[in-house]
Chains A and B, each alone.
Chain A
């Protein structure tokens, strides 16, 4: 009990001290970096998104394919979906775009719908454009094909060769 009381007193004192200091000069929000919260941050340099329209290999089987073109300012809201302007089933031929896969016409119970399912409507929740930048952290991910190949090779090394 005594401990809690002391703690409460200390907290109140601390709050009072914080109150007395000029607000904003000392406070930092780590999400914003070292800039104090009362100052405007310098916006980071914009990247130049990959725009060559060359389809990339998926890193793993279920990876949503990445977008190999710029999507700045694409409107996706309740009125209009710019992605489906080319990637919808009926437009795919004209624009030679990859049509939306059949899984996107399925609701969560597995019923096939006549149009893209609501849960798949916001394309850029899963599909993203790419910037040609150096990775911030080293990626040691190995996909299943490489693993299989490796294990096959290992097996080959273990079994003695027949003469």
Chain B
């Protein structure tokens, strides 16, 4: 094994015998451009709505839910596709996310969420990953379009003004803290599992009656 590596290393070190320096430099340059272009084109292809909704896990669950929300259909015709919110726009972050997505390929192959029941069971965990990601990067994907400095507070409702001018302005909260479930339906969040939840939000169970007769 070591010998093999040594032999290839020797080949790599030796100057070219058959190819001119011009061919190697210009050819390398053109080859590099072609590789880079193809690489980025292929990666952009995996960022399209068509690619994401190519599998039934996305098409029948999360994409179906997105369709009625304002990020998919609205009066002005601007649409945020899957990757606009779920893939960072910055190149290095995007690469990191794409590498993480290999886990999703694994999930697709082994059918981790290939039925609605499996998806419902796994949903909270998946949602929490996305909430954690957006919380950690200060809702960067929201802010790619929704810039705080560009917001006209006077055009917002009184309630939105109050919230944005306090919690958002002093950076105590970030977009995702309040705006969960705007693009997809929310899963059942057991008390204590979400950063902003309360016992009062729990789904009522008919049997849990405390027998205090007034």
Contact = CB atoms under 8 A, between A and B. Distances in A.
Interface size class of A (residues with CB under 8 A): 20 to 34
Interface stretch (B80-88, B110-118, B134-142, B180-188): B180-188
B208 to A, nearest CB: 6
Interface stretch (B7-15, B55-63, B94-102, B193-201): B193-201
A80 B198 CA distance: 12
Contacts of A81: 201, 203
Contacts of A113: 204, 208-210
Contact of A110 (B68, B210, B213): B213
B200 A88 contact: yes
A121 B212 CA distance: 21
Contact of A79 (B158, B185, B200, B208): B185
A89 B200 contact: yes
B189 A80 contact: yes
User: What interface size band does chain B fall in?
Assistant: 20 to 34
B157 A88 contact: no
B159 interface: yes
Contacts of B188: 78-80
Given A75-B186, A79-B187, A84 B159 contact: no
Interface of B: 68-70, 157-159, 162, 181, 185-189, 198-206, 208-214
Given A75-B181, A80-B186, 6 more contacts: A69-B159, A79-B187, A90-B200, A91-B201, A113-B210, A115-B202
